Structure 1
């Protein structure tokens, strides 16, 4: 099984990247491709830019990465209750190639923040909207208070209940 994993964040030290990396590595007998959305940075989407630029190669490459995977794991950062601008822009450009961005892939959707909300607003948005974009969501998990529930030295969830829940979700892939 090929798993594509990424944090929907442009932060180079993203806690969501730490979480998604840990989650992806829980999958047994899987080939894991962890990408950085900074490698797909493009101008802010607009119809005018689309007419001028066409479909940027970065959007094509991102769409192809999704197509090559058997499953996807995304961990969403939350900015003001919704997607980061970096991820939303990548998604918008990619959706112009094909609105079914996620190509019916099995998906695990995660989110975390340093605070107690655990990015639950953006997680709810992703879970609710995902099926409109051909996401086959098999599980989701919010990790609140990241620094209290994740051991950055070992790179693992330290909260046993959250860890067990994450393992159960990953095992569904």
Structure 2
């Protein structure tokens, strides 16, 4: 059996975002896999553009990555008490593609934010965003990485044993949900 394909979606476009670091740590703790970090730098969804030009290639690539994944992890920052628009935009675009790439897909969500709640509200809203897609979203353990800019070392590894343990358990559950 080959290694599972794990796709990561970061709600932050920043190159050095703590949500990207959290995804990479989660992929490491997931164990042997082919990890693909998706690009959510997509055009804003506009039905007129879709009608005129169809699905952009970048959107179709994302939908194909999700469809081909054995499991997906999503990490969201919290902007103004909710997930960022870039993440919602990506979800909206993928919902417009042929097929249903999210259906029955094992998904783990997590969050990393500057505040003391670690993106808890954003994660709760993200979970609600995922309902129409009928994923197999894991219920826990929940990962809310607070004061996230101070939680990684120079190599991008989590510095807190507790956070690492929680992410490891979540990834073990995701791996099992994906059948590996």
Which interval holds the TM-score relative to the shorter structure? 0.7 to 0.9
Match of residue 167 from structure 1: 168
Does residue 51 (structure 1) correspond to residue 51 (structure 2)? The answer is yes
Count of residues in Structure 1 that have an aligned counterpart in Structure 2: 169
CA contact (8 A) 1:101 1:134 kept: no
Stretches of structure 1 lacking an aligned partner (at least 5 in a row):
none
> What are the equivalent positions in structure 2 for 1:62-81 lying under 5 Å apart?
62-81=62-81
Does residue 89 (structure 1) correspond to residue 92 (structure 2)? The answer is no
TM-score, normalising length from structure 1?
Answer: 0.88
* C-alpha deviation, 1:26, in angstroms: 0.8
> What are the equivalent positions in structure 2 for 1:29-40 lying under 5 Å apart?
29-38=32-41
Q: 1:98 to 1:130 in 2, by over 3 A?
A: farther
RMSD: 1.8
CA distance in 2 between partners of 1:130 and 1:31 (Å): 24
Runs of 4+ in 1 over 3 A off after TM superposition: 98-101
* C-alpha deviation, 1:100, in angstroms: 4.2
* C-alpha deviation, 1:105, in angstroms: 1.2
Report SS of the residue matched to 2:38. strand
CA contact (8 A) 1:66 1:103 kept: no
CA distance in 1 between partners of 2:54 and 2:48 (Å): 10
> What are the equivalent positions in structure 2 for 1:71-150 lying under 5 Å apart?
71-97=71-97, 100-138=100-138, 139=140, 140-148=142-150, 150=151
CA deviation vs aligned residue, 1:114-159 (integer Å, no higher than 9, x gap): 22121111100122332321221123411111134x2231322222
Match of residue 4 from structure 1: 7
